[in-house]
Chains A and B, each alone.
Chain A
Amino acid sequence: MIRWRAPIDRMVWADPRRRARKLMQFAEVEAQGARDLFRAAEVTPDPHLRRRLFAHARDEVRHAALFRARGLALRRTLADPGPDRALGDGLIPGERGFDRLEVEKESMAALLAFIHLSERAAAHAFAAYGAVLGHDPETRAVIARIARDEEGHMRYSRAELARLAPDQGRRALWIARLRRLWRAYLRLALILADLISRLILTLVYFLLLAPFAWMAKRSARRQAPGWRACVDRSRDGGGGQY
């Protein structure tokens, strides 16, 4: 699993700008993950699970701080850190954390299965990045430390799943797996749909809009800035969207 992607990872992590950007993004993902987990802790009725989720959330807060500190340090070594974001967010599934966990909508079993799989993906991803970061020992140390925690998160969430839903555990894991796949597919589909609609709308823009644009500009020229009288629309019975 790790070996085939090593060349890609190496390429991704070679550029210090991208490296810094990725670390800052990870910091945001971890911070959001922490918020989701605190929320999960707030809504769970089980006191033991609440304490585990709370402790987990605190780990993620610490991860956010570690990623951020390292990202900032790296950023300060760059002459020009470049834009905050590349196209889209450029994150792969293992880097997405819980990917907008909808805490209130899930059963506890589904939530734990989802946490387990997300942590597992994160642990794998971080292990792979550690392997290609030989040239940046500081970043590597940060990632290795976090990867260890993620393994712990993987284990406790599995154990809690077994404790709280002994007969649904496997099923919940399978459903969560399918949902992660479905989300990945949806994301791809959305990117594709976005590209297509962009293309079509851009064509529309250039083919159809020019005469209207000419009229709009003419009318704009006639309007001096400053006060305008308010149009009284209350006589429409409040019905109109216009």
Chain B
Amino acid sequence: MKILGISAFYHDAAAALTIDGLPVAAVQEERLSRSKNDPAFPLRAITWCLDHAALEPEDLDAVIFYERPALKFDRVLMTLLRGFPQSWRIFPQAMKNMVGEKLWVRGIISAQLGVPAKRIHFTDHHLSHAAAAFLTAPTQQAAILTADGVGEWATLTVGQARKRSGGPAEISLLREVHFPHSLGLFYSAFTAWLGFPVNEGEYKVMGLAAYGTPRFAGEVRHMLHRTRDGAFALDLGYFDHHRAADAAYSHRFVELFGPPRDRFEPIDPTTPQGRHYADVAASAQCVLEEVIVDIATALRRETGLSDLCLGGGVALNGVANARILRASSFERLFVPPAPGDAGCALGAALWADRILFGQPHRDCPDHPFWGPAVVPTDLARLAAEDGLSCERVGEAELMDRLVDAIGRGAIVGWMEGAAEFGPRALGHRSILADPGDAAMRDRINRDIKFRESFRPFAPVVPADHAETFFELPPGGARLGRFMSGVFPVRPEWRDRLRAVTHVDGTARVQMLEAAMAPRLHALLMAYGRRHGLPVLLNTSFNLAGDPIVTSAAEGYSTFRRAGLDLLVAEDLIVRRDPARQDHSLEAMA
């Protein structure tokens, strides 16, 4: 069967195509439209997926949307009614939003693709998250935990699932927590109060938390308290997401923690004010972890299963993930490379195949590379037109040159094969650099990422060498496969891994299996042979405010704008024109 999954209209739209039960293509709309977190109907992504498989829309057996729009409308309307009469301010906007576009998904899909309406299906938002986590994971039986801001009504679900290659798959969600009680929206309120954009800045809160101590944990436990049945509830007096469209925290929140941070002014965690923000962040992070670890522990006891599949935006919190692994007594934790709503496009397609249409399960390849491939000849043409040195070199020599250059402080743009699906660069669209040079970290933060100096970079290490440098709990290597866990750097290596070690001595490390990205793995090994440790700084290949690069032209443009030293696309290597000073303020764009 040929099934197209779509996720759209909220944040970070995406499309995914499965054929005979296996993923064939998946890409976020932003990677093609070049507009970050593009929520629009993902026509470019859909078109690319179909072209990639040489299909026309009429060849599709089914199209599945990742959630139920009318049920979502029910929640929005009910929330407005319950907020009567204070909700009058947001009522017109909310209605126009829903009725304007979001409610007519079947019609939009049918009109845009020319697919008959009866081939268009819907599933539950959290089932999409669960399917994205479970059906892609190499496990036969697992407990399921999904948590995000909100789907239709559910904000968190627990359940269990089983599958067998060639046999049936089954996902049953047992219980859920409903809006407005939400771990994701709880965290977003702190994100907003700390002056970061909601839905994007959550990982900044996590990074900032490492600078603080959770001295407000007691207060925060009142805001997010446990219910007697083991779930949780928000004290809605502190929040505004159930009353207003664009507000997350209330006056009472401000009375408790002080005025929100001015988003235009930098945070300096060494000042008292900066420490205050860090302490608040640490308190929110700490309580989030307590609640989710507790729910996971109870789920482990209830199901008796040793594997846990984690989905939803909250699963992007690598610190919480690592704590679940350490504390909940699950032996393995599976977080997909795209646990957020974009990943639901793939989750929904797989759910439709296995469960809606009852097709036998087939094990999915365990990697994130489902996007458009880079075309090195495009890069060769661009470089030649601009008179830059550009060479094709054999693998051994390429590795040799890169190892040498990175050792001398070069920053490398690295493009290979198909682009990653999901928010993280996992080895095909990366910026690579020396992990031991703090000045380098500052240069990348300032000139390329134009971001707060308190944010750490991630290291990448071959999976079988990870234990040498990082303290991993059992099962840690799996969590590190897609950079989903934050682990302590061994103290004796912290100095040599300065640029990738966070202030609290941890790192969000990717543990790379050779089979997943053989060339990057070879580069790491070569780097290790020359410089003593097979670790590189790995950050996504994009400038501040841009989505990760997809094509050679975007890679080339970013290479020029960011003043990178080398650009590699497969076996092609382009060198920066040494006569021209390319670093400039423009990283601010």
Contacts and interface: CB of A to CB of B under 8 A. Distances in A.
Interface in A115-133: none
Given A217-B84, A238-B123, A31 B588 contact: yes
B81 A61 contact: no
A75 interface: yes
Interface string A27-42: 0000100110011011
Interface string B54-97: 00000000001000111100100010111011001001100110
Nearest to B233: A225
Contacts of B356: 234, 237-238
B588 A61 contact: yes
A86 interface: no
Interface stretch (A8-16, A138-146, A149-157, A195-203): A195-203
B229 A38 contact: no
B270 interface: no
Interface stretch (B176-184, B410-418, B428-436, B516-524): B176-184
A226 B589 contact: no
Contact of B177 (A228, A232, A241): A228
A213 interface: yes
B157 interface: yes
Interface string A45-70: 00100110010011011101100100
Interface stretch (B10-18, B202-210, B485-493, B554-562): B554-562
Nearest to A43: B553
B88 A206 contact: yes
A174 interface: no
A191 interface: no
A226 B231 contact: yes
Nearest to B355: A234
A210 B81 CA distance: 8
Contacts of B91: 201-202, 205, 209
A202 B554 CA distance: 46
Which of B121, B159, B172, B588 has the most A CB atoms < 10 Å from its CB? B588
A240 B152 CA distance: 13
Contact of B386 (A34, A51, A58, A229): A51
B66 to A, nearest CB: 12
A31 B85 contact: no
Interface string A197-223: 110011001100110110111001001
A227 B158 CA distance: 10
B178 A238 contact: no
B105 interface: yes
B397 interface: no
A111 interface: no
B88 A239 contact: no
Interface string A170-199: 000000000000000000000000000110
B436 to A, nearest CB: 31
Interface SS of B by simple majority: mixed
B589 A57 contact: yes
Given A35-B589, A226-B228, A54 B70 contact: no
Given A213-B81, A229-B175, A241 B92 contact: no
A3 interface: no
A91 to B, nearest CB: 18
Given A41-B557, A225-B231, A230 B174 contact: yes
Contact of A212 (B81, B105, B230, B263): B81
B585 interface: yes
Given A58-B584, A201-B91, A64 B589 contact: yes
A216 B64 contact: no
Contacts of A54: 557, 560
A39 B545 CA distance: 13
A220 B589 contact: no
B116 to A, nearest CB: 13
A142 to B, nearest CB: 14
Interface string B337-363: 000000000000000100110000000
A241 B69 contact: yes
A53 to B, nearest CB: 10
B377 to A, nearest CB: 14
Given A34-B589, A227-B231, A72 B121 contact: no
Given A31-B589, A226-B228, A42 B553 contact: yes
A224 B181 CA distance: 11
A232 B173 CA distance: 8
A223 B570 CA distance: 58
Given A42-B554, A212-B81, A234-B356, A226 B177 contact: yes
A63 to B, nearest CB: 10
Nearest to B156: A227
B586 interface: yes
Q: Which 9 A-B pairs have the closest CB atoms?
A: A213-B84, A225-B233, A216-B81, A61-B586, A238-B121, A226-B227, A201-B92, A241-B70, A47-B385
Given A209-B91, A224-B227, 8 more contacts: A38-B589, A61-B588, A62-B585, A206-B88, A209-B80, A220-B78, A227-B230, A241-B71
